[in-house]
Amino acid sequence: MATLALQGLGKSFGGQTVLERIDLAVADGEMVVIVGASGCGKSTLLRLVAGLEQPTRGAVVLDGEDITARDPAARDIAMVFQNYALYPHMSVYENMAYGLKIRRLPSAEIRRRVDEAAAMLGLAALLERKPRALSGGQRQRVAMGRAIVREPKLFLFDEPLSNLDAKLRVQMRAEIRRLQRRLGITSLYVTHDQVEAMTLGDRLVVMREGSAAQVASPMEVFARPADTYVAGFIGAPAMNFLPARLAAAGRGAALAAGPTLLFADGPRPGPAGRGLTIGIRPEHIILDPAGLEFAVDLVEPLGSETLVHGRLADGTALVVKLAGAAPAGELLRIALPPAELHVFAAEGGRRLDPIAAPAEPLAGFVATG
């Protein structure tokens, strides 16, 4: 087990910067998930830690030692890839044992490690099979077993579940988390799947265009996103965004759709009229006979819940997530509970926190004057 520190890590190819300065400290036994859209730099970051790429700037420090210039084989790091990378002519046992044989470990030690990992992963009955005789999930277990037997200081996972079907991804996700906790090995896990990120990580690093948009626990990222990018990326369906202006004394937001919403947790900084973006998650919008008019465009019944797509009077598109079935009709009325609002600056999209607690609780809509 070990700690990992990334100190001002960056990467450029020619004149193009693909990874900005990344500073990250990973605690002993912690699992940090790096999540983001394709091309955001998350896999490049993992390759820098593994030694498969050399950084343009910054350092990689593992357990207090600078390993930035070390060869990948000398870093005591094990990596699990998206494509399994198994040797097709070798059995499961031979695949798992190969790295240990290269290190010239005694045969008895190799057998002990492979047998323990195989039992842990449910592979004991498959050790003599070749990879072509295994399912996708079994192949991924073999790839994990090959990493486990090395007993490394650090695990790196590069989208290991992306080639599996949806049901198997759920099973393997739970298995990876269970194993990581049982082994207590410090881990970095890269994915573009926000569900994987939320369920696997002790902390998330949400990447955007080569930089870390937010580093926090999964629930903090969900409940207090740092900006509109993070807010829109984490959560399914994505958070709704409404254009607005800051009301007098910063105590509310005048929506472009009409009414002014009062903030439940205190005023926001800035002059009246400052551009805002108000965020609210689809599951937090409620039906209210006295609320905003919401013209329904599409209804998606999902069994226990329903997604309703539509527009407000000003044309702002919204998605509403309702428990059970949606009411009939092409026009609904909805309310945006003040306690569920997220307030962002229109320019730059950064989160705006309250500057003081309100003198008394504020709730509901008030008419614009």
What tens-digit pLDDT sequence spans the chain (369 residues)? Answer: 689 999 999 999 888 999 999 999 999 999 999 999 888 999 999 999 999 999 999 999 999 999 999 999 899 999 988 787 889 999 999 999 998 999 899 999 999 999 999 998 889 999 999 999 998 889 988 998 999 998 899 999 999 888 888 888 888 888 889 888 888 999 999 999 999 999 999 999 999 999 999 999 999 999 999 999 999 999 989 999 999 999 999 999 999 988 899 999 999 999 999 999 999 999 999 999 999 999 999 999 998 999 999 999 999 999 999 998 888 889 999 999 999 999 999 999 999 999 855 445 544 444 433
The overall pTM is greater than 0.85: yes
pLDDT of residue 365: 45
Give, rounded to a whole angstrom, the gap between the first and last alpha carbons of the chain.
Answer: 62
pLDDT of residue 368: 38
pLDDT of residue 358: 47
For residues 45, 46, 49 and 50, what is the CA-based torsion angle, rounded to 10 degrees?
-140
Domain residue limits, the chain: 4-232, 237-366
Selected from 2.40.30.10, 3.30.70.1350, 2.40.50.140, 3.40.50.970, the CATH number assigned to the domain covering 237-366 reads: 2.40.50.140
Topology of the domain comprising 4-232: Rossmann fold (3.40.50)
Tokens in use for 47?
Answer: 């390759």
Residue 93 backbone dihedrals phi, psi, to 5 degrees: -60, -45
Q: Which amino acid is at 236?
A: A
Pairing of β 331-335 and β 275-280: unpaired
Q: What are the distances in angstroms from CA 273 to CA 65, 196, 276, 315?
A: 52, 40, 9, 21
Residue 253 in contact with residue 278, Cβ under 8 Å? Answer: yes
pLDDT of residue 369: 33
For helices 107-121 and 136-148, give the axis angle rounded to 10 degrees. 140
For residues 90, 93, 98 and 103, what is the CA-based torsion angle, rounded to 10 degrees?
-160
Residue 151 in contact with residue 113, Cβ under 8 Å? Answer: yes
Residue 39 in contact with residue 30, Cβ under 8 Å? Answer: no
Burial of 90 (0-12, 13-18, 19+ CB in 10 A): middle
For residues 177, 180, 184 and 188, what is the CA-based torsion angle, rounded to 10 degrees?
-100
Rounded Cα distance between 368 and 151, Å, is 64
